[in-house]
A and B are shown apart, each in its own frame.
Chain A
């Protein structure tokens, strides 16, 4: 299974952790997106949207990280615990995945990217979106150990990749006690956390080097 990725990308890291949880071996293919490698014809042929992560499973090419997560569990999971087949349990996992993409990670894109990419100061309006997203996640986690029910699912893994990436700007997660509690536990129980954290540290290092 070929996996096109970059360690700085949170969505890529969510796939790496999920594959590890499933015991699926990925043939890791680093794509230097900062150098435009994703625009090479051989990659555009695999994924016309030329984004990462992209997975090619025996000729079947798929992208969008959250679609890859559910594909891996449906195809290779020994059981359905990471992505339940019960329609209601699955609906909650899907809701959290869409929340991760459209709300939480989107707030990162709007508020944090400009800070680390272009050294812009934090925009209060955009930071308010971050606060609102973390506030909602905090509510979801009230009296819950995991984000979508009583066991670890791909929703936890996707959100773990996103939430940890906020640490590149020393964002204070402790303001959201339920998120902080969930985060500490998720770090311990999610396979591949260390590799995810290496990716976050790499972003920090690249930003520091550029700013020096």
Chain B
């Protein structure tokens, strides 16, 4: 039994929903309403002392950090190992992209959008942080040159994580049209990644809950 603690609007949670679908796994989905403080309830903190989502509990084994969950699911349940191949060099490239996703691309979203959306006293947009997003997309664009997929010449975990992230930029109306490799990769990834529709539904939900104020202003 795979218990999955999540919210559909969360990008890291969505990357796991798509990966589970690709692997044909059934998740027992449990919503954790962060706005209502459900993640701070003792029963959840007991499962994950860091009280973050996504959190996966596989038959008593609890694990969090979305990209660690992606790798766990692939290693445990991907019979042919295609999403996370065993070759150390191929793995290293996938891992590089996963770390890039967390600390460069998604982090640039956090720097620019979070102060506008999630702080008690909302802050105005900071153009310097917008530049960090541009830089991150320019870098992703470079990494994609001559490649159909994000890490290797086939679909891997890196594409799932990055698709969840890039779609969050799209719903936030960040225009990445000036990065042609990213656009090409994104259009293809949307088509070939199972569960894209659910991911987009999560994006729409996120927009409805949180993006209203900043998008109306623009």
| Chain A residues within 8 Å of B, Cβ to Cβ | 48-49, 60, 62-64, 66-68, 70-71, 74-75, 87-88, 90-92, 94-95, 97-99, 101-103, 106, 136, 139-140
Contact = CB atoms under 8 A, between A and B. Distances in A.
B95 interface: yes
Contacts of B75: 87, 90
Given A90-B71, A101-B102, A140-B49, A75 B64 contact: no
Question: Counting chain B CB atoms within 10 Å of each CB, which of A68, A75, A98 scores highest?
Answer: A98
A68 B92 CA distance: 7
Closest 8 CB pairs of A and B: A94-B68, A67-B95, A98-B65, A71-B92, A91-B72, A64-B99, A74-B88, A87-B75
A95 B104 CA distance: 18
B89 A99 contact: no
Contacts of A70: 91-92, 95
Question: Counting chain A CB atoms within 10 Å of each CB, which of B68, B75, B89, B93 scores highest?
Answer: B68
Interface residues on B, range: 20 to 34
Contacts of B72: 87-88, 90-91, 94
B21 to A, nearest CB: 20
Nearest to B93: A62
A91 B69 contact: yes
Interface string B93-137: 101101110111001000000000000000000000000000000
B193 interface: no
Chain B contact residues: helix, strand, loop or mixed: helix
Contacts of B50: 99, 103, 136, 139
20 contacts: A48-B142, A49-B104, A49-B143, A60-B89, A63-B96, A64-B95, A64-B100, A66-B99, A67-B99, A70-B92, A71-B88, A71-B92, A74-B91, A87-B75, A88-B58, A88-B61, A91-B61, A94-B67, A98-B68, A139-B49
A84 to B, nearest CB: 11
B49 A66 contact: no
A48 B93 CA distance: 13
A142 to B, nearest CB: 9
Contacts of A103: 50
Interface in B35-74: 49-50, 58, 61, 63-65, 67-69, 71-72
A155 to B, nearest CB: 11
Given A88-B72, A136-B49, A66 B95 contact: yes
B95 A92 contact: no
B139 interface: yes
Contacts of A91: 61, 63, 68-69, 71-72
B76 interface: yes
A46 B92 CA distance: 15
Contact of A101 (B63, B71, B103): B103
A126 to B, nearest CB: 13
Given A63-B96, A67-B96, A87-B75, A102 B102 contact: yes
Contacts of A139: 49-50
A94 B139 contact: no
Interface in B142-181: 142-143
Contacts of B95: 64, 66-67, 70-71
A18 B83 CA distance: 27
